[in-house]
Structure 1
């Protein structure tokens, strides 16, 4: 593990949330949001309303900007998210998880909690000089983002199968080249 568990989980879920933009609306309804929350193990308040879904959708472009911003702009986004939420970091333990940081109460609105968790995790990346771990998928025509948490910083593709497609394309190109006289 390169970072604290909650930092890694927040980074991964922030990238996954951003990537729902490019999935032809990856959060089409409240039940899709519920599945997203379950997959990324979000606890706390979940109102299951259209307003909540809309607020989560509205957070995505702001987080997406982080993957193309420079350090100073990322710091501005992070500080803005924390300021707007009136974040007050505290060590919390719940749901059989070890102590970790929460900066807003568990009953705060979902989009606010998602924004603050992402901001806190991004603050860790900024402080440790690891912003290069935020990447765009290297597969042509894929606009997904990813967080490279590998020790050797070698991750190039998102979780949408792009790595497999790249490997198949490379194999086919080698095979075609070998078959040519």
Structure 2
């Protein structure tokens, strides 16, 4: 593990949330999709299951996406704004089966606020450790996905296996076409 468990979870959830906003398809088309996202990323606490909550989470995505395109100073500005907007006050918390970890807003804060703050706290750890290079955009040219490279050798290039497979197939086809007389 490169970072604390809650940092890794926050980073992966932030990238996954950004990737739900794709030119190809809306990854959070309805409240049921948000429910599935909530469960898949092990969120706990308040979840209203409403259209208003869904809209507020969709509105968070562009703010987070900017981080994958920003330099360190702009990233810090975004992180600080996310924390300031939520009046974040970090505290150690233990709940469910998780050991002590940081929460910066109460568990009954709105889900969009908790998602913003969890992402900001995790991203702050990347800034502090000089690891912003672990935030990457997918290497497949026609993909707008983002990723967090948590591999030890910093070799992850694609947002998901499907993008890696598509890139490999494209490269194979290009080599085959080039080798034909």
Quickly name the TM-score band, shorter chain normalised: over 0.9
> What stretches of structure 1 move > 4 A for 4+ residues in a row?
none
Unaligned runs of 5+ in 1: none
Match of 1:89 in 2: 90
- State the TM-score, normalizing by the size of structure 1: 0.95
Offset at residue 88 of structure 1 (A): 0.8
Q: Partner of 1:157 in structure 2?
A: 158
- Report the counterpart of residue 80 of structure 1 in structure 2: 81
Query: Size of the alignment, in residue pairs?
Result: 180
Which residue of structure 1 aligns with residue 113 of structure 2?
112
Partner of 1:38: 39
Q: Which runs of 5+ in 2 are unaligned?
A: none
Q: Show CA shifts across 1:124-180 (max 9, x none).
A: 0000000011110010111111111111111111116100111122223334444x2
For residues 138 and 149 of structure 2, the distance between their equivalents in structure 1, rounded to whole angstroms, comes to 10
**Alpha-carbon offset, residue 24 of structure 1:** 1.9
Distance across 2 between alignment mates of 1:3 and 1:118: 14
Residues 20-29 or 8-17, more deviating = 20-29
Alignment RMSD, CA only?
1.2
- Other structure's SS at 1:24 match: coil
Relative to the length of structure 2, the TM-score reads 0.95
What does 1:1-181 align with in structure 2 at a 5 Å threshold? 1-22=1-22, 23-159=24-160, 161-178=162-179, 180-181=180-181
